[in-house]
Structure 1
Amino acid sequence: MAIQKSIVLANFAFFLLLVVAVWVRPAGPFVLVVTDPQADASGNMQVIGEAGGRLVWSGRYAWVSVAYSDANDFAGRLMRAGALLVLNHDLAVGCLEGN
């Protein structure tokens, strides 16, 4: 009986993980970019520039910003340029409320 409960819990956790992964996946021309927290704002802008994008917004933390590009592979180029995370820009709403 305990094994069945653990299997159900594991499946539920996996389902939640898939939902979160789809929700945070970068989609569209706007993305939330997270770079090295020890770098200053110029480091963040350098990563976005190297990926061929433009800085749209940056809030309280210089290492978190919203960037824009029409390129389909923008998220991948940001990762290759040094971004730690590239997420759906809708997650920036929490950052905007923190100002």
Structure 2
Amino acid sequence: MDFLLLAPDRSRIVIEVDGVQHYGRKNPPDDKGRVSYTAVPRLYSEMVAEDRRLRLAGYEVYRFGGWELTEPNGAQLLADFFDDLLKRHQAPVSV
């Protein structure tokens, strides 16, 4: 769990930022020093199993790929997401 948010409506929200280490293993550098990764299905399975466990425990889980956050529109993507998330989880109105 990278971040846990407690919303005004008492929802529990988990934010995950997934880098390649969440689903792959680092390979030795090639002859030019470049590093690559190999997908590891077991790592992916562990990650989605944890998602299921958290959801069954009452958490909302939102995942971001680390790559998408490094794109030129990454900051706007996050701003839009949090705007939408806050709209969804406003504090209940007392009557």
Same fold by TM (over 0.5)? no
Query: Normalized per residue, which structure has more helix?
Result: 1
Query: Normalized per residue, which structure has more strand?
Result: 2
TM-score (norm 2): 0.25
TM-score (norm 1): 0.24
